[in-house]
Amino acid sequence: MDEQFSVRQIAKSYAGVQALQDVTIDFASGLTAIVGDNGAGKSTLMKILSGVEHPDRGTIVHNGQSVTIDNPVIARKLGIESLYQDLALADTLNVIENMFLGREIVTRRFGIPVLDERAMAQAAGDTLARVRIGLPHPKTPVRYLSGGQRQAVALARALYFKAQVLLLDEPTAALGPKETSAFTSVIKELVDSGTRVVMVTHNIPQVIEMADSIVVMRAGRIVARVAPQDTSEQQLLAFMVGSQETIEEASPQWIKTHQ
Ligand SMILES: Nc1ncnc2c1ncn2[C@@H]1O[C@H](COP(=O)(O)OP(=O)(O)OP(=O)(O)O)[C@@H](O)[C@H]1O
Ligand SMILES: [Mg+2]
């Protein structure tokens, strides 16, 4: 297990609710799925990793260094892209502007740096075509986009900038079957090109099919980490609701990797 991307002893509480306690995970390469019941703390963890929320305690390690992720722009500069339903895009900016926000392509005209609108439009068009989710004209302000289309813009951004880490919070919840299948193949493409993907989802069959590693959360804690080939839907559900109490019982692998 390397230390490329990990969290150590993260805690977070909101006015009386302990959303996360002592959360320690090494995100291995490939796709890590995070599952857990409603309120388990999954989205809170993703928000902390994407700079939307800040932990009360604990450390985030990225590329072997401890990092502070103050906001989503800093996260993106670190190579950490995120994608979720109520995704924060700049609503008044168009699709192309959102894709390149903070990382615009610049050219020089008479020695003066200017935005290279043509290069950005071309790159946006090419990348969005790979995502294969129907979008209106790329000059449309993103406030007119549907939830799924907003996600397509964020996914294109991750593809274009070759994200080191991609955080997904229930990415297919808003998508139809055709879009889900297009989306899934882009995720696989990203994983194959070396992006570490962390995906929160309630779709257990999809987790077992796609994930390289599965982390189960319950009431703000990590309760199990298993490989898909060593578990079943029943066992994951048992971890999620607490009928399978201890991590030692069902997952010797967890103990091995965390001693
Ligand atoms: N901004 C907030 N203010 C107060 N409490 C919050 C806030 N955000 C999350 N919580 C609480 O923290 C806990 C964890 O919430 P979180 O959204 O992380 O759960 P989740 O695992 O993503 O659940 P779901 O599967 O329903 O999306 C819940 O008890 C929730 O009510
Ligand atoms: Mg959530």
Same structural domain, 127 and 158: yes
Q: Which two tokens stand for residue 131?
A: 């995502």
65 and 164 share one domain: no
Q: Residues 101, 156, 186, CA angle at the centre, nearest 5°?
A: 160
Q: Is the model's pLDDT at 32 over the cut of 70?
A: yes
219: which residues sit within 8 A by CB, 6+ positions away? 39, 40, 41
Determine the distance separating the centroid of ligand 2 and the alpha carbon of 42, expressed in angstroms: 6
The answer on 82 and 65 residing in a single domain is no
151 belongs to a structural domain = yes
Domain total of the chain: 2
**Nearest ligand 1 atom to alpha carbon 44:** 18
Q: Are residues 80 and 57 in the same domain?
A: no
Domain boundary among 194, 223, 251: 194
Provide the β-strand partners of residue 114: 107
Q: Beta strand pairing status for 31-36 and 196-200?
A: parallel
pLDDT in tens, 148-202: 888 888 899 999 999 999 999 988 887 888 888 888 999 999 999 999 999 999 9
For 229-235, which contacts have Cβ atoms below 8 Å and span 24 or more sequence positions? 232/208, 233/204, 233/205, 233/208
| Shared-domain flag, residues 83 and 104 | yes
Give per-residue pLDDT as tens, 40-56.
999 999 999 999 999 99
Probe target for ligand 1 pocket from 10, 14, 50, with the most ligand atoms within 8 Å of CB: 14
3-state secondary structure of 7: strand
Looking up residue 142, the CATH number of its domain turns out to be: 3.40.50.300
Please state the atom number of ligand 1 nearest to the C-alpha of residue 46.
18
Which residues lie with the beta carbon below 6 Å from any ligand 1 atom? 14-15, 17, 19, 36, 38-44
Quick one: 9 and 119 in the same domain? no
Please report whether residue 41 resides in a domain: no
Cα(208)–Cα(33) distance, integer angstroms: 9
Q: In this model, does residue 249 exceed pLDDT 60?
A: no
State in Å: Cα 55 to ligand 2 middle.
Answer: 16
Beta strands in the chain (DSSP E): 5-14, 17-26, 31-36, 57-62, 65-67, 80-84, 106-109, 112-115, 165-169, 196-200, 213-218, 221-226
Overall pTM > 0.85: yes
The residue nearest atom 1 of ligand 1, judged by CA position, is 14
Q: Are residues 64 and 95 in the same domain?
A: no
Ion ligand 2: residues, CB within 5 A, are 43
DSSP state of 142: G
Instruction: Establish if 202 belongs to a structural domain.
Output: no
* 1 confidence band (pLDDT: 50, 70, 90): very low
* Domain coverage including residue 128: 71-194
Phi-psi region of 241 (alpha: psi -120 to 50; beta: other; left: phi over 0): alpha
User: What is the distance in A from the centroid of ligand 1 to the CA of 39?
Assistant: 5
